[in-house]
Chain A
Amino acid sequence: MKKKIKVALIGNPNVGKTSVFNALTGLNHKIGNYPGITVDKKSGVAKLDDEVNATIIDLPGTYSINASSEDERIVLDLLFDPTNEDYPDVAIVVADIENLKRNLLLFTQVKELGFPTVLAINMADHMEEKGISIKIAELEKKLNTKIVLISAKKKLGIQELKQAVLDYKNFSIEPCLNATAVDTEFFSKLALTFSNLSVFKLWMIYSQDIKIGNIGKKEIEAKGIHLSENEIKKLQHKKTIKRYQFINDALKETYSRDVNKASDIRTKVDRILTHKVYGYLIFFFIMMLVFQAIFEWSSIPMDWIDEQFANLSTWVHEVMEPGKLTDLIADGIVPGIGGVMPFIPQIAILFMFISILEETGYMSRVVFLMDKLMRPFGLSGKSVVPLISGNACAIPAIMSARNIENPKERLITILVTPFTTCSARIPVYIIIIALVIPDTRIFGFLSIQGLTLTLFYLIGFLAALVSSWALSKYIKSERKSYFVIEMPNYRTPIIKNVVVNMYEKTKAFVVGAGKIIFVLSIIIWFLGAHGPGERFENAEQHITEVYQDKEVSEEELSEHIASYKLENSYIGILGKTIEPVIKPLGYDWKVGIAVLSSFVGREIFVGVLGTIYNVGSGDENDEDGRIKQKMAAEIWPDTGQPVFTLASGVSLMFFYAFAMQCTATVAIVRRETKSWKWTIYQLVFMTVLAYVAALIAYQLLK
């Protein structure tokens, strides 16, 4: 059997950890990113040589072992918990060659924890251009570590990195400096409390209030150690200064940078992107571009996928024996899944843009531009990242709020992020817009449908802002807020990173949504194809009698039978029961069922409607199984008016704009806030708001 070791990638944000991870592991990733489970760390397998495989763990970026945000806390927790299944045998500290000084701070801490450590200095492809020279052998000696120069982008040094990791047993695990010298008296007292742990670990337990095994802050205090908050802080500051002194010394003779070569592209681009007019214009323009692209680029692949599922349904009817199973597959599962899959192109495009914006370094400029604007709403510039990512999916967005150090701002951001228009709303919006908004253009190029979509994105964003303003008045803040954010250099994105990210996120959506829809469409098909009592059983006989004297074609007759059956099926009865509640919003009971089942996830709405309408259409060899046509053809039985009108359509869109229709988000909010109270407040508030807004929209427009 192959030997397996565990390797953690640790480093500052934006130094290329994920790129190194991708370069080491190819596409063998494991991420738990959807319903309920979340990505704290991404792991993958790298083949080091013929005998040894390594499980590589990509950790969130951190500037220091001293955690100041939830994200950094994850790194701290892992490195201090030997019982954790991901506890590494080897640490690779990834550093950016352009900012070695700051990157080495974290390195000295990781090394002091006693891990065999490799220092991977990344972005070596920039060396020449920036006039950087570095004496590896000497630096290795000073830092007492193995160093590998790499470029994740150009795939340089990856092999050497693997070789280095293989040799981990021979590494020195001694710290590279003695930081306890800042207060020898105190630290030697601390060292005596528990002699089985290193003094650095004891210090971290004490200052960060964490536990290793059963040793925590209390246990250390019980042994006579007492420092006030201020004294702890002072020591932390002193140690930081001490570390930087050591780093400066180490780099003095080994690292040099030609100041004249420092490029000024960054300065020029910054001037434009943070300009008081162009800055905002460009931001607005980019957002417009994203939304137009979602609509325009995806229409061809969408139609194509849609068609394939319709064909598939017909094909199943043709080749399989007629019977229950065939019906289940052709009328239940295929249309259910086929209702959601056409949205893959849109979701992929959205994730592509978000990943490019992050990779290039533009997101930080947005944070910089928006900070002051967000403050009156009780948010900070950092809330912009979750709010923008929320346009892809609320789950990673809510997790990205971990970067916000201030607890109040973080809580508010988490609570309002689900208002932003996540990709699961796209299926609902697109199909409703296509049905009720005319396909015309103004100025010859701006499509009204596209504008409507943009408008609903804005509505979501405004709802988030207004509610956070209200929340900020209500929630008390116990800690003073501060705002420190790095402005990374501009970089051309690595295509592989973008593709991997796009692929993973889209896959998570398809698998996550697909699983639920698969189960739901079976249930709904079953409930729709069966019913209690006589009326369902005798549908055929009953309808034939009713239409006995009237002239109806064979086809029409079977339609009538099918819809009578549906009405008297289990699902019909259930739908009729809730109809009084949803009728004021303009929905019939079929739409009601779809709204109700999409509590699990918004995207399910279309799939469920697909199943319901297919069960309800008597025609077995339905030529045109497209869901859109079916929705357009739906009428109210009593008035003969179409179900999907401007009024009911807009009402539906408002409902989906505000309602918390996603159990996975509820779960993640609970996890991230660690509070049922806030989770339930959020759920109730959003649902009530959605109902009221939909009600008003319908009553005004009808």
Chain B
Amino acid sequence: MQYKLNLNKVSTTLDLLKRNEKGVIADFDMHKVPLKLLEMGCLPGNAVELLEVAPLGDPIYLCINDTHLSIRKELAREIQVELVG
């Protein structure tokens, strides 16, 4: 799914999304993100939605590019997203 980017887009990082907030992955430092996450579909331009946050605040549960996965906030912090209106 391709989302049209809003002109007044809001940039943030993945760990700061709220439940059910959607965004598009913008960019990240390739050295800080494991290859595995990319291979699972976490690539610039792909849609992302935050589904749940674990009861103790970490990890988070995401849907990226149709794949449901869970990562820790320390990793999510490295990934820039643009919120979708």
Contacts and interface: CB of A to CB of B under 8 A. Distances in A.
A417 B3 CA distance: 46
B12 interface: no
A487 B60 CA distance: 11
A101 B46 CA distance: 12
Interface string B14-45: 00000000000000001100111111110100
A371 B54 contact: yes
A99 B43 contact: no
B5 interface: no
A101 B51 contact: no
A485 B36 contact: no
Query: Which of B34, B58, B66, B72 neighbours the largest number of chain A CB atoms within 10 Å of its CB?
Result: B72
B71 to A, nearest CB: 5
A484 B30 contact: no
A371 B53 CA distance: 12
Nearest to A368: B70
A68 B43 contact: no
B43 A101 contact: no
Contacts of B68: 266, 486-489
A486 B40 contact: yes
Interface stretch (A233-241, A313-321, A569-577): A233-241
Contacts of B70: 364, 367-368, 371, 483-487
Contact of A369 (B39, B55, B66, B69): B55
Given A274-B52, A368-B59, A233 B31 contact: yes
Interface residues of B, number: 30
A86 interface: no
Interface in B51-82: 51-52, 54-59, 61, 65-72, 75
Q: Which of B1, B35, B71 has the most CB of A within 10 A?
A: B35
A66 B37 CA distance: 12
A267 B39 CA distance: 24
B51 to A, nearest CB: 7
A373 B54 CA distance: 11
Which has the most chain B C-beta neighbours within 10 Å: A68, A484, A489? A484
Contacts of B56: 276, 372-373
A266 B68 CA distance: 11
A437 B71 CA distance: 45
A68 B34 contact: yes
Interface string A257-279: 00100000011001100111001
A482 interface: yes
A681 B61 CA distance: 38
Contact of A368 (B30, B36, B54): B54
